[in-house]
Structure 1
Amino acid sequence: MRQILGTNDPTALAFATALLRGEGIDCFEMDVNMSVLEGSVGVLPRRLMVREADHARASVVLSDNGLSPAP
């Protein structure tokens, strides 16, 4: 798995997830439950992960739709 997006904006994560799944790219959101440790302030970013083989294609999908993918 490789990180494709890291953000603390839940709207961007939902948008990115919908875009990737719409293109048939499986993705997984990590660090969702970190809010328990941080006190729900939203300081710690969540990571959206994709398979290594899908990373290049996922980067193009996110870039084409105005999101900045992780390198």
Structure 2
Amino acid sequence: MKAVLETNNPVLLSAAVDRLAQEGIASVVFDSAMSAIEGSIGAFPRRLMVAPDSESRARWALAILAREVESGALARSITAMDDDEPAR
């Protein structure tokens, strides 16, 4: 397995796992149980792992995700989805 992301940010990790799944890339989160040991203070980053033959595709998909996050495109698409929901 190859690490393609190390982060303490659970939202970013979730978005990365989802993006890889959309691209058909299987991934596994390592070190998620460390929060029980560390007291959930975020001292140890979680690692997103992929098979060695998927590493370059995974890095490409995560680079696009990073650009979307930095540009605000991801936030705009989430807001647009919220706008489509029926009023309560």
Q: What secondary structure, in the 3-state scheme, does the structure 1 residue paired with 2:66 have?
A: coil
- In angstroms, what is the RMSD of aligned CA positions? 1.0
Runs of 4+ with >4 A deviation: none
Q: What per-residue deviation string (whole Å, max 9, x for no partner) do you get for residues 7-58 of structure 1?
A: 0000000000000000000000010110111111111100000000000010
Query: Residue 37 of structure 2 corresponds to which residue in structure 1?
Result: 37
Q: What secondary structure, in the 3-state scheme, does the structure 2 residue paired with 1:43 have?
A: coil
Letter in 2 for 1:54: S
Identity level (%): 40
Query: Which has the larger share of strand?
Result: 1
Query: Residue 9 of structure 1 corresponds to which residue in structure 2?
Result: 9
TM-score between the two structures when normalised by the length of structure 2: 0.73
Q: RCO higher in 1 or 2 (8 Å CA, sep ≥ 6)?
A: 1
Unaligned ranges ≥5, structure 1? none
Q: Report which of the two structures shows the higher radius of gyration computed on alpha carbons.
A: 2
